Structure 1
Amino acid sequence: MLDGVGVLARLGLAAVWLISGALKISEPGQTYIAVQAYDVLPHVLVGPVATMLPLLELLLGLFLLAGLWTRQVAGASLLLLLVLIAGIAQSWARGLSIDCGCFGGGGQVAPGQTEYPQEILRDSGFLLLAVWLLVRPSSWFSVDRWLGRGRGNSAAPAPDYSEVPEGN
């Protein structure tokens, strides 16, 4: 049962990253505008972040889809989601009127057209998927399981030293 929940969490988070990354990479100019709209990065970093973010999202999505290094990818997803939620929260706190650009688009919007609470709530739901996979990375249909790394909460059982002979 729990492995079934793991599959749903893994594939759900994979879909989020794959869709988000694909939409951003298909419109690099718009992704640049979205990153710039947050107004937190030095101008020289906006381009590299706008380029690397969709690539990172696609990479996370592919690893989750395959179920490879699930716990590590869940940890990276958790960190990225925390950064994204913080970015949305700081925009809201500073009174910026932007679309988050989380799934393409983004940039300035008319005052009152923001959806900060909904965006934070949505991303918090994705965060819960990452937490689940961080705590319990085991799931069916994963490369980790095929390689014998996906069972239980640890990669290998603790060694049993109870039958080690004592010194001569």
Structure 2
Amino acid sequence: MSDHLISTRVLAGQCPRCRTLVLTGIAEGVPAHVDPHPVAPAGELTAVVQGRATYTVKQGELVRRDALRVRSLRGPVVVDHRCGEPIPAAQLAPPDPPPAPRQVPHISATATRVREHLLAAGPDLIWRIAVALTLPAEDVTTAVRRLDDAGQIQRTDPRPGMPTHWAAVPVEHVPPY
């Protein structure tokens, strides 16, 4: 196998000269040491004006950016490391937003009210849920059946012949639709 124009996975390490954190790897046959913080477009422009190479991190490898590939490469852009010359903080890319909290799929307004009641009050019987929410028992029974089918609630006492207490399933355990 030829070592010509190979790329390797990016690894975290220290700059041998200034001991700051850098990412190292071989990008298309050329060893690269880059600052680990992605830059915004203004940061990339500053780096290019300073004569520094820029790279896109793609599938864990560094891909060198140039005038022909700058528009086609998607992903975080990092800049060649130079000791004592960091990119200004204002030109760094903003951090990724936190993931949105997972929500359970909507079934119906009544089902949502029943699930919220079970989350607030804990396990309960169908007739108690109907009384607490001032809903007909038939509507609550239908909502409970649909919530159970969707995996959003579960029986807490499945013994035959006993009244069934229902409890809400935590969001992280609800199967997706």
Q: What's the TM-score, normalizing by structure 2?
A: 0.19
User: Relative to total residues, which structure has the larger strand share, 1 or 2?
Assistant: 2
Specify the structure having the higher radius of gyration (Cα).
2
User: Relative to total residues, which structure has the larger helix share, 1 or 2?
Assistant: 1
